[in-house]
A and B are shown apart, each in its own frame.
Chain A
Amino acid sequence: MVNLTINNKKISVKEGTTILEAARQNNILIPSLCYLENVHVFGSCRICVVEVEGARNLQASCMVPVKEGMVVRTNTERVRKARKLLYELMLSDHPDNCLSCQRNQNCEFQKLGEIIGISKERFDGEMYMSKVDDSSPSIVRDTSKCILCRRCVTVCNGIQGVGILNAQNRGFRTVIGPPGTLALNTVNCTYCGQCTVVCPVAALQEKDSTQDVWNALSDKDKRVIIQTAPAIRAALGEEFGYEPGTLVTGKMVSALREMGFDDVFDTNFTADLTIIEEGNEFLRRVKNVFSGVPDTLPMITSCSPGWIKYVEHVFPDELDHISTCKSPHMMLGALAKSYYANKIGEDPRNIFVVSVMPCTAKKFEITRQEMINNGCPNVDAVITTRELAKMIKDAGIDFSKLEEDTFDNPLGLSTGAADIFATTGGVMEAALRTVYEVVTGRELPFDKLHVESLAGFEQIKTAEITIRDPVPEYKFLDGFTVKVAVTSGLAGAKKLMNEVAQGASPYHFIEVMGCPGGCISGGGQPRPTNDYIRQKRLEAIYKEDEGKTLRKSHENPFVMALYDEFLKKPLGHKSHELLHTHYVKRGIYNEYLE
Chain B
Amino acid sequence: MDIQVEQCNCSELTEEEKLERIAEVIEDYRHREGSLIQILHLAQGIYGYLPIHVQKFIAQRLNIPLSEVYGVVSFYSFFTTSKRGKYVIRVCLGTACYVRGGKKIVERLHEILGLDVGETTPDGKFTLEVMRCIGACSLAPAITINDTVYKQVNPDKLQQIIDLY
Contact = CB atoms under 8 A, between A and B. Distances in A.
A452 B163 CA distance: 80
A385 to B, nearest CB: 28
A179 B60 contact: no
Nearest to B52: A180
B67 A179 contact: yes
Contacts of A290: none
B75 A179 contact: no
Main secondary structure of the interface of B (DSSP, over half): helix
Contacts of A162: 65
A165 B71 CA distance: 10
A170 B79 CA distance: 13
Contact of A165 (B67, B69, B81): B67
Main secondary structure of the interface of A (DSSP, over half): loop
Given A179-B52, A179-B55, A168 B65 contact: no
B66 A187 contact: yes
Contact of B75 (A169, A180, A187): A169
A142 to B, nearest CB: 18
B70 A180 contact: yes
B56 A168 contact: no
B64 interface: yes
B75 A178 contact: no
A164 B56 contact: no
B74 interface: yes
Interface string B141-156: 0000000000000000
A169 B67 contact: no
Given A180-B52, A180-B81, A163 B75 contact: no
Contacts of B75: 167, 169-170
Contacts, number: 49
A592 interface: no
A187 B55 CA distance: 14
A157 B67 CA distance: 10
A187 B65 CA distance: 10
A157 B65 CA distance: 9
Given A588-B60, A589-B56, A180 B68 contact: no
B89 to A, nearest CB: 23
A296 interface: no
A396 B56 CA distance: 50
Contacts of B52: 179-180, 182
A210 interface: no
Nearest to A166: B67
B68 A170 contact: no
A164 B66 CA distance: 8
Interface residues of A, number: 18
Given A179-B52, A180-B81, A168 B71 contact: yes
A411 B149 CA distance: 79
Contacts of B74: 168-170, 180
A178 B52 CA distance: 12
Nearest to B60: A588
A163 B71 CA distance: 11
Contacts of B66: 163, 178-179, 182, 187, 588-589
A277 B71 CA distance: 45
Nearest to B77: A170
Which of A163, A165, A179, A187 has the most CB atoms of chain B within a 10 A radius of its CB?
Answer: A179
Interface string A157-196: 1000011111111100000011110100001000000000
A179 B74 CA distance: 9
B81 A166 contact: no
A170 B81 CA distance: 15
A147 B60 CA distance: 30
B60 A166 contact: no
A271 to B, nearest CB: 34
Given A179-B52, A180-B74, A180-B81, A168 B67 contact: yes
A163 B64 contact: yes
Interface string B71-86: 1001100000100000
A178 B67 contact: yes
Contacts of B55: 179
Contacts of A177: 67
B65 A166 contact: yes
B64 A168 contact: no
Contacts of A166: 65, 67-68, 70-71
A192 to B, nearest CB: 15
Contacts of A163: 64-68
11 contacts: A162-B65, A164-B67, A166-B71, A167-B75, A169-B74, A169-B75, A177-B67, A179-B55, A180-B70, A180-B74, A589-B66
Interface of B: 52, 55-56, 60, 64-71, 74-75, 81
Interface of A: 157, 162-170, 177-180, 182, 187, 588-589
Given A157-B65, A164-B67, A166-B68, 17 more contacts: A157-B68, A163-B65, A163-B66, A163-B67, A163-B68, A166-B65, A166-B70, A166-B71, A167-B75, A169-B74, A170-B74, A177-B67, A179-B65, A179-B66, A179-B71, A180-B74, A588-B66
